[in-house]
Amino acid sequence: MEEIKRISRDLVANGAIIDYYKDTMLLPDGKTVKWDLIDHKGAAAVVAVREDGKLIMVRQYRNALERETIEIPAGGLNGRQEPTEDAARRELMEETGYIADKMELLNSIYTTVAFCNEKIDIYLARGLKKQGSQHLDEDEYVNVEAYDLDDLVQMIYEGKIQDSKTICGIMTYAHKYAR
């Protein structure tokens, strides 16, 4: 494949979670085009499995979809240098009140490769202990729920769970550990 080169990157807007850029790109045929780029600092997510085998999920309203979703606990990094395992542990505690004895990297995903560089590292958390109550951000309203793996997989197949990190985390866990 012939090389594509970036000529320039111009900041269009800074957001609370993302920055939006317009890139001017030089194509192999000599044409220049404008491409959008959403720059994201990264995130971490957790497939949290209790001793009874149930997975800890969070239900929350998502503005982009204008509805509630059921997801694995997750959140953005506190800066690009924060280790994703630290972020995963923090988000698990903040959103659910649980801490984990063991964390293992399950998978890493890029959410929307056509225009966004968001990478999410998805961890498996075991040896869960309820440490206390949630410590949510001031704009977060999260309900904690527990589900059987088979029920979650069925919800994915039925289109009731559509969040990519959640689908990836649950299906990776189901394939690797729950056969």
DSSP single-letter state for residue 53: S
Phi and psi (nearest 5°) for 150? -60, -40
Contact 70, 145 (CB under 8 A): yes
Q: Give how far Cα 152 sits from Cα of 9, 20, 117, 127, Å.
A: 41, 34, 28, 20
Check 2, 51, 66, 138 and give the catalytic one. Answer: 138
Contact 40, 18 (CB under 8 A): yes
Phi and psi (nearest 5°) for 77? -75, 150
User: How many CA atoms, within 13 angstroms, populate the side-chain half-sphere of residue 88?
Assistant: 27
Virtual torsion, Cα 101, 105, 111, 117, nearest 10 deg: 110
Q: Does residue 138 have an active-site annotation?
A: yes
Catalytic residue positions? 138
